[in-house]
Amino acid sequence: MDLGLRGKRALITASSGGMGANIARALAAEGTNVALFARTEAKLQAVAREIAHQHGVETHAVTGSMLEAGDVARLVETLKDLGGVDIVVLVTGRPPNPLRATLEETDEARWHEAYNSQLWGVIQTIGAIVPSMLARGWGRIIAVTSASAKQPMAEHALSTVFRAGVTAYMKGLANELGAKGITVNCVAPALIETTHRSGTSAYTAEQTRDRVQLTPLGRLGTQEELCGVVTFLVSRQAGFITGSTIAVEGGMVGALF
């Protein structure tokens, strides 16, 4: 199936590693030119070189933070110089560690940190980039959130509150941008396998067992499966999907809707 992504340009945030880098690789495999944005220059440049070598697409690395207005402004100018952007995929940081029960989240500094990293960074980045997308008459915006926004998980209060905030923001944005040819959606993962830099699982054997028990599929999801959903949502064929949250959590969420 031709997804209509060849020659498009995508911005992927937090793309110096992990989920963001994997999404960039998946889009590049479809012929999408990619702009990578993250704070760690050396890692970001390494991912950019790898993608360019493997997929032969235009790849640009912009170092900066979604929380710094100056960095975001520089990102916007870079994208303009490259000819604009068609696709934006927003990946954000994790909540502060260690995770705590809801009533134990009494540290105001942790709430501010989670708000900034998970909600404000999205709002600031989208607010700066969307004006330059409007004239194109076509666009895709995806925010990677969490299934905890649909079904709160134990010790995930910070993630639940602010991922839900991103979901509400994206829903409002979808209503405002639909007539401009831009779709806006969320992808809400959970129980996805992740790895350390060493290539080993980020979960202990006990943690893996606990997570597997939450899904009727009896296994963790793969990065490839998550990236496949994101890739479809930014495709030509997904043009009638907007204002939606697609859960990629192996059936963990028990709600009907």
The answer to whether residue 4 is domain-embedded is no
Are the C-beta atoms of residues 126 and 176 closer than 8 Å to each other?
A: no
**How many domains would you assign to the chain?**
1
Does residue 256 belong to any structural domain of this protein? no
> Hey, what are 29's tokens?
């495999």
User: Hey, what amino acid is at 133?
Assistant: M
Strand-pairing partners, residue 141, are 88, 184
In a domain, 253, yes or no: no
pLDDT at 200: 55
Task: Judge whether 48 lies within some domain.
Answer: yes
Q: Are 5 and 32 in contact (CB under 8 A)?
A: yes
Strand order in the sheet with 139-144: 59-63, 33-38, 9-13, 87-90, 139-144, 182-189, 245-248
Asked whether 34 and 93 are in contact (CB, 8 A), the reply is no
Cα end-to-end span (Å), the chain: 29
The tens digit of pLDDT for each residue in 82-122 reads 999 999 999 998 888 888 989 999 999 999 999 999 999 99
Residue 64 belongs to domain spanning: 9-248
In a domain, 96, yes or no: yes
Q: So what's the pLDDT on residue 198?
A: 43
Cα(12)–Cα(46) distance, integer angstroms: 15
- Parallel, antiparallel or unpaired: strands 139-144 and 9-13: unpaired
The answer to whether position 114 is within a domain reads yes
- Taken in order 114, 120, 121, 123, the sign of the CA dihedral is positive
Q: Give the pLDDT score at 196.
A: 47
In angstroms, rounded to a whole number, what is the distance separating the alpha carbons of residues 253 and 75? 36
Is 3 contained in some domain?
no
- State the pLDDT at residue 203: 63
CATH number at residue 94: 3.40.50.720
Residue stretches of the chain with pLDDT short of 70: 195-203
Residue 255 lies in a domain: no
